[in-house]
């Protein structure tokens, strides 16, 4: 894949999957805007690695749950980098609880970050992408948004909402050469899964036909493909990167 001359914006790009996505796109020639919410040091470290590859890098702070802040962040990216060709809506968090115990705050925090944040960032890039008649929007979903997950009514609902957003934007933007797709990772080796009980991880691996957890690189490779010219006739799709977990 070659993204020479392209600019990517990765939300939640300072750690985990977002970090790997930012680095992978940079390795393949893209200039990258790394969005972060609170950890500037981590975002700066990612940008330093991107710069070492000879690519332009820019760290921008914004809580995408704040619609105005998300919009301003995209506007800053456009002003500094000149264009945004690839938007990866990766920012997310969890506030797990059983539905009967879940608070309004736990619901709102997750839905606002995952779903409203993706909409805000997408809305802000649509007109610029329409003007340049090119765009790739890739939303980071989850197998939880397809099959549900105990204790994650908020997260599962938000990720399921992203599927509807993806398909609608794909229909609206297809005539302008803008594709919109969603990746649904399964259990991926990140700081989050590292904190899960060993028995839970063992059970997940047992239920996964490929017999392992996924890696951030597995997800980043899928993002790279959907952002590339090789995927120019693919839009409105949900690509599960889950080792076959949902086959069960």
What residues are labeled active site?
155
Instruction: Report whether 207 contacts 186 (CB < 8 A).
Output: no
E strands, 66-223, are 86-89, 135-140, 178-185
3-state helix, strand, coil in the chain (%, to 5): 50, 15, 30
Q: At what angle do helices 153-173 and 117-132 cross, to 10 degrees?
A: 20
Per the DSSP assignment, residues forming a β-bridge with 35 are: 60
Phi then psi for residue 159, to 5 deg, are: -70, -35
Among 135, 157, 128, CA closest to 144: 157
In angstroms, the CA 13 to CA 174 distance is 26
Task: Say how many C-beta atoms besides its own lie within 10 A of residue 9's C-beta.
Answer: 29
DSSP state string for 178-240: EEEEEEEE-SB-SHHHHTS-HHHHHHHHHHSTT-S-B-HHHHHHHHHHHHSGGGTT--S-EEE
Q: Are strands 86-89 and 178-185 parallel, antiparallel or unpaired?
A: unpaired
Taken as a whole, the chain contains a residue count of: 248
């Amino acid at each position: 894949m070659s993204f020479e001359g392209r600019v990517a914006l990765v939300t939640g790009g300072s750690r985990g999957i977002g970090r790997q996505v930012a680095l992978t796109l940079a390795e393949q020639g893209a200039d990258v805007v790394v969005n972060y919410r609170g950890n500037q040091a981590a975002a700066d470290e990612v940008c330093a690695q991107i710069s070492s590859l000879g690519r332009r890098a820019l760290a921008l702070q914004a809580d995408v749950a704040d619609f105005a802040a998300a919009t301003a962040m995209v506007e800053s990216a456009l002003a500094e980098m000149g264009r945004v060709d690839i938007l990866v809506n990766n920012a997310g968090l969890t506030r797990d609880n059983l539905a009967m115990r879940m608070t309004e705050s736990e619901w709102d925090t997750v839905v606002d970050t995952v779903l409203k944040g993706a909409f805000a960032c997408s809305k802000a890039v649509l007109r610029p992408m329409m003007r340049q008649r090119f765009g790739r929007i890739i939303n980071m979903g989850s197998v939880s948004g397809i099959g549900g997950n105990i204790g994650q009514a908020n997260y599962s609902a938000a990720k399921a909402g992203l599927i509807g957003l993806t398909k609608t934007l794909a229909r609206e933007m297809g005539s302008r050469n803008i594709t919109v797709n969603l990746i649904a990772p399964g259990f991926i080796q990140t700081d989050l899964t590292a904190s899960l009980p060993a028995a839970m991880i063992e059970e997940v691996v047992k239920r996964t036909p490929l017999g392992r957890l996924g890696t951030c690189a597995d997800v980043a490779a899928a993002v790279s493909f959907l952002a590339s010219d090789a995927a120019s006739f693919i839009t409105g799709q949900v690509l599960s990167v889950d080792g076959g977990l949902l086959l069960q």
